[in-house]
Structure 1
Amino acid sequence: MRQDYQKFVERGAEIIAIGPDGPNAFRKYWQENKIPFPGCADLRSRVANRYDQEVSLLKFGRMPALFIVDKQGMIRYSHYGDSMADIPSNESILNLLAELTAEPS
């Protein structure tokens, strides 16, 4: 998502990554990798639990999850990954954002 961040912004989207690391580790990773969007530490998994994000120790921890939330706070799309590699492509999410933007209000 980092590579296509500007395309997401052009479609009126903001990316917010939420991860299981502590704030210091999160901040360090963000700085070292020059991530252009906000990241939030969820060390106690409060956000992950609220959205039923799966944790599988056999699959190396928290499974990927992706949500599109509209400006009214409604979840318009959700994807729960079955493995660490199960993440929708940027292109598919950008196309979905274009479809959602084209829907009548």
Structure 2
Amino acid sequence: MLQVGQTAPDFVLKTTTGTSFRLSEARGRHIVLFFYPKDNTPGCTAEACAFRDEYQDFQDLGAEVIGISGDSEESHQKFTQKNRLPFPLLADVDNEVRKLYEVPRAMLGLIPGRVTFVIDKKGVIRYIFNSNSAATDHVSNTKKVLQELER
């Protein structure tokens, strides 16, 4: 897996609105990039809603939250609407970005992994949290890292 201190690999993916998101165009803001297994599953819904509930805090810390899974744009649109998510979800249907970020699979390789990266304003990875079972810990841990970065 990628390491803290490395430059985050650039990528382009489609958002829920059909526009393209390019990581390098987000420089100047912290990015919370969370890879999750699948829309509308209990753990993924809990994680996305926890990020939603803390979204203003992330904005206040100069960060943008971005979710990525292998689901389609249409699936992401429904998931976003159903859960009132204020941040973009990116459709990595071919799992190319998941591979680029070396996100491991979980549960004997059957489930896509749940990994969160904090990328600083210059594009450097400052934190990585890998846990499929502690979905909402991704939010609290990431927020603490951003608070440290802003000090």
- TM-score over 0.5 (shorter chain): yes
| Alignment partner of 2:144 out of 95, 99, 102 | 95
Cα offset, 1:89, TM superposition: 4.6
Aligned to 2:85: 35
Aligned to 2:52: 2
- Corresponding residue pairs, total: 100
| Greater relative contact order structure (CA < 8 Å, 6+ sep) | 2
CA change 1:59–1:35 in 2 (3 A) is farther
CA RMSD in angstroms comes to: 1.7
Cα offset, 1:92, TM superposition: 2.7
Equivalent pair of 2:129/2:138 in contact (CA under 8 Å): no
Work out the CA distance in 2 between the residues paired with 1:28 and 1:41.
Answer: 13
Equivalent residues in 2 for 1:1-105, closer than 5 Å: 1-56=51-106, 58=108, 61-81=111-131, 84-87=132-135, 88-102=137-151
Gaps of 5+ in 1: none
Equivalent pair of 2:116/2:138 in contact (CA under 8 Å): no
Calculate percent identity across the aligned residue pairs: 31
Cα offset, 1:90, TM superposition: 2.7
So what's the TM-score if we normalise by structure 2? 0.61
So what's the TM-score if we normalise by structure 1? 0.85
Work out the CA distance in 1 between the residues paired with 2:130 and 2:138.
Answer: 13
Q: Could you say what secondary structure the match of 1:15 adopts?
A: strand
Compare the two structures and name the one with the higher strand fraction. Answer: 2
Gaps of 5+ in 2: 1-50
